[in-house]
A and B are shown apart, each in its own frame.
Chain A
Amino acid sequence: MKLLSALLYVVVGIGAGVAVYWILNKIAELLPNKAEERVKPFLYILPAYLAISIYLIYPTIVTVFRSFQHQAGAEWQSVGLRNYTELLQSSDFRDALFNTVLWIIIVPALTVALGLAVATLADRLRPTSENLAKTVIFLPMAVSMVGASTVWKFVYAYNASPDSKDQVGLLNAVKTAVGGDPTPWLQNDTFHLNSLLLMVILLWSQVGYSMVLLSAAVKGVPVDTLEAARIDGASDRQIFFQVVVPQIKGTLVTVFVTVLISVMKIFDVVYVTTGGQFNTNVIGNAFFKMFNTNFDYGKSYAIVVMLMIAIIPVMIFQVRHFKQEEANL
């Protein structure tokens, strides 16, 4: 029934779209020739801008505006910078901030390094094995963060009851097999161990992306540059770091920044596995809690604004870089 209504939405949506454009086009044709040419482009972009205005421009303005207010009952009162100062003074939020920084420091760099390693190593295999290896590493890319988190939560599972002889979680099974005691991994925040284990989930899902892009870049390095280096007596290591890496720098940056942005907004992995407990909280999750559990909208908007201030320079860099890379292709 729902599927039927979905199909109906698609058909009606597309049909209505065509109809709207047809009508807009007819209206434009009613106008005198000169006016028609002038008005038409605006009619063509109108629906797209309507969507963008409702879903991005208007909310951005409201969010920035409301982040300086507090909702008391139905009334919004201006509170100046209080949402921001209270957030930055609360230890909960500072922990989330610290953990997010930890994610930012560790995950993007490791993703690029691992992806490059797999791309380079797999390049030496026979094509059939190379494809197989790459398909395996790339596979998690298709899986949602919720799915990935479930799969890994099972790996980290902990069985506390003393009468069961088996640990069903793989990690604890390995630990008990070598003579250790089982650990509730996700509750252990010594040296941020649990956060690190959550980062493994994101690495698992993102390395494939990094590998595919870097692999294409590595294969695109002109052979003559490599041969020239070899004739000059460069070792494999030198060739890799001084000839290959500089030539794929553009792709390295693209991958790094893409992963960086997804890490800054990280939410699903933490929300599904620990819900931000046990000192694993991150900004994305803090925002959702403020919004959905505490119903402190003013503060939740303040969190988004801070996130936006952090992300926008990175995104500007990314869009510029992307354009440049495209021009080079």
Chain B
Amino acid sequence: MSNIEAAEVAAGPETERKDYGPAPSKAEPSRAGWGTRTVLALLCALWLIPVLGTLITSFRSESVANSSGWWRVLGNPAFTLTNYSTAWTDGQMGSAFLNSFAITLPAVFIPILVAAFAAYAFTFMQFPGRNFLFLLVVGLLVVPNYVAFGPVLNLYGKVGLGGQIPAVWLAHIGFGMSLAIYILRNYMATLPMTVIESAKIDGATHFQTFFRLVLPMSVPALASFAIFQFLWVWNDLFVALVFVGPGDNAPVTVGLNNLVGQQGNGWNFLSAGSFISMIVPLGIFLGMQRFFVRGLTAGAVKG
């Protein structure tokens, strides 16, 4: 388990480390004192306890969960899966779960190709206005996407897209485009020019160079953007709320917000709903921490 370490290598300067033995810490060659350990242990407990409480509550029956604290489970361990099945069907988290995929997948994969082509043109082609057009992309990173909600919603109304699933992912493609071009161009600029030039000398067209050379070589940057965009879109509430709202096409974030907003939903039910909404990003986080961190670092400039 050295995910975080791998992540650090990806995120910053490399550090040499062994898996065992005393940590070769530089600031403090002595081992961590009891003070340090206690503070960190407390902090970790503070960080985990709310999630743990929610997790336990999601498996308790309605009567128990709403009349006794989840920590009492130790005295009376009884678990049920009813909350999940109720949240999935009656709470409509099941259909919301599918909607989230339906929104996220196109929003992640479609912009990659479009942005990659633009990034290629900015990196490897000469044309008048190149610098200006690229600066425009960078400049638009600074515009908060709140500006788009009203005007785009009106536009959707005119073309009959309002409330439809593509309304959301199209919007996410538009909002993520500047960032994607920016990340990909910065990455492509570090690719070895000689390889691309020799391809040109060998008679490869731009089209071939792009698909056979540049795109495969840019996979790390594509992956960082994909992860960042996936989490951004999956976890987004605001864009989904504006463009589809609560209803048949709502994703898990909107679905969970509906459950929380309705009076009389017990904590057992809400807990199960929140875990349904969190399971996919948590899985990605635990499985792909390395790309995850890179994506986060790159996303620092998203407005």
Contacts and interface: CB of A to CB of B under 8 A. Distances in A.
Contacts of B137: 52
Given A133-B40, A318-B301, A307 B22 contact: no
B23 A127 contact: yes
B133 A25 contact: no
A232 B72 CA distance: 56
Contacts of A84: none
Contacts of A98: none
Chain B CB within 10 Å, residue with most, of A13, A236, A268 = A13
A265 B301 contact: no
Interface residues of A, number: 122
Nearest to B122: A45
A41 interface: yes
Given A48-B117, A124-B28, A143-B281, A154 B271 contact: yes
Contacts, number: 375
A310 B44 CA distance: 35
A300 B72 contact: no
A212 B148 contact: no
Interface in A23-59: 25, 38, 40-42, 44-45, 47-49, 51-52, 54-59
A223 interface: yes
A315 B236 CA distance: 21
Interface string B191-215: 0000000000000011100000000
Contact of A297 (B17, B143, B146, B150): B150
B44 A136 contact: yes
A239 B27 contact: yes
Interface of A is mostly: helix
Contacts of A226: 26-27
B117 A44 contact: yes
Interface of B is mostly: helix
Contact of B101 (A6, A47, A59, A133): A6
B47 A265 contact: no
A308 B12 contact: no
B114 A48 contact: yes
Given A56-B147, A212-B7, A216-B11, A125 B48 contact: no
A40 to B, nearest CB: 6
A143 B70 contact: no
Nearest to B57: A154
B282 A142 contact: yes
B3 interface: yes
B36 interface: yes
B295 to A, nearest CB: 11
Given A126-B23, A142-B282, A219-B13, A7 B105 contact: yes
Interface in A268-288: 268, 271-272, 284, 287-288
Nearest to B299: A258
Contacts of B284: 142
A252 interface: no
A59 B5 contact: no
Given A125-B36, A137-B47, A212-B4, 7 more contacts: A55-B152, A59-B152, A124-B36, A127-B19, A141-B296, A292-B241, A318-B301
27 contacts: A41-B127, A41-B130, A47-B118, A48-B181, A56-B178, A59-B151, A62-B151, A66-B150, A124-B25, A127-B5, A136-B48, A142-B231, A146-B256, A150-B256, A154-B57, A167-B69, A170-B50, A173-B71, A204-B47, A236-B28, A267-B237, A267-B238, A268-B237, A301-B150, A308-B147, A315-B303, A322-B301
